[in-house]
Amino acid sequence: MSIKAIFFDIDGTLVPFGDRGIPAEIREAIRQVRADGVKVFIATGRHLEWIDNLGDTEFDGYVTANGAMVLLADKRTLIHIRPIEHASISRLISFAPESDLAFSVVPAAGGIFITREIPEVTAACRLLNLPSTPVRPISEADGKEIVQLMAFGTEEDRSRVGLFKEILPDCEPTSWNPLFCDIVPKGSDKGEGVAKMLEYFGLRKEEAVAFGDGDNDIPMLRLCGTGVAMGNAPQQVKEAADYVTTDVRKHGVVHALQHLGLLSRG
């Protein structure tokens, strides 16, 4: 079956960690693939507000916040949203001020903030080259549609306080870095977001390819007809993929596109 859609994770897939933009060879590859009629999408854990490392490369749509928000190319037309339940946000508002954990709060409408600065927050922002994020009280989440949270600290810390059993029972963690975990509504992941995008464009999952390097990419790697894991991905991600390409810094995206017959070998 011919390939009609490609979904790219950003960090560690399109953009090497520590870099601020897509390498020139990948920008050109995306341009060529789109010129051949293949739709190319972003599928990221980042909210649109935090997507600042793609330059002027054009995409056909954006699966953001680990699938909780799906937008078209204009970055305004929303075709899917799954916020966290208000009851869970209310419990978090009561819990967070007395907790040792720090949280990043991601409202659907933007205005991302963190509840307090701890070393893990600083390290994560440096790793992802994120813009400066204001520190605000968790109470500012009240009444807003929150599509994602980030909890900074260890898995042991989160388990000890019963974060997912008592405070956020309708949510689940997805993690690709020991510094923090992304928190999304149960059932909301990149796989669901990709499925919504494919449905909108009338495409079948067998006609889609997904590229990723983290645990949060596994759902879309399994959903699409072809899942491509980067060479820098951990073993469990590689095992979920149909094809393992080279490292993000060793032309991994280009090699995979050539392997799939979507790009000529230069």
Q: How far apart are CA 241 and CA 230, in angstroms?
A: 9
- Pairing outcome for strands 146-152 and 113-114: unpaired
Question: What is the band of 154 on the pLDDT scale with cuts at 50, 70, 90?
Answer: confident
Overall average pLDDT of the 225-245 stretch: 98
Query: What phi and psi, each to the nearest 5 degrees, are found at residue 205?
Result: -60, -30
Q: Which CATH architecture has domain 86-185?
A: 2-Layer Sandwich (3.30)
Domain ranges of the chain: 5-81+188-259, 86-185
Among the residue ranges 10-14, 119-123, 134-138, the one predicted with the least confidence is 119-123
Mean pLDDT over 10-33 rounds to: 94
CATH architecture of 5-81+188-259: 3-Layer(aba) Sandwich (3.40)
Tokens representing residue 135 in the block = 């520190």
pLDDT of residue 266: 61
Q: What are phi and psi of 54, to 5 degrees?
A: -105, -5
**Confidence tier at 174 by pLDDT (50, 70, 90):** confident
Calculate what percentage of the chain has a pLDDT beyond 70.
Answer: 98
What is the edge-to-edge ordering of all strands in the sheet holding 78-81? 78-81, 69-72, 61-64, 39-43, 5-8, 208-212, 226-229, 243-244
pLDDT score recorded for residue 55: 94
Burial letters 107-124, b for 16+ CB under 10 A, else e: bbeeebbbbbeeebbeeb
Asked if the model's pLDDT at residue 58 lies above 70, the reply is yes
Q: List the single range of 12-26, 118-132, 194-208 with lowest mean pLDDT.
A: 118-132
Beta strands at 226-229 and 243-244: parallel, antiparallel or unpaired: parallel
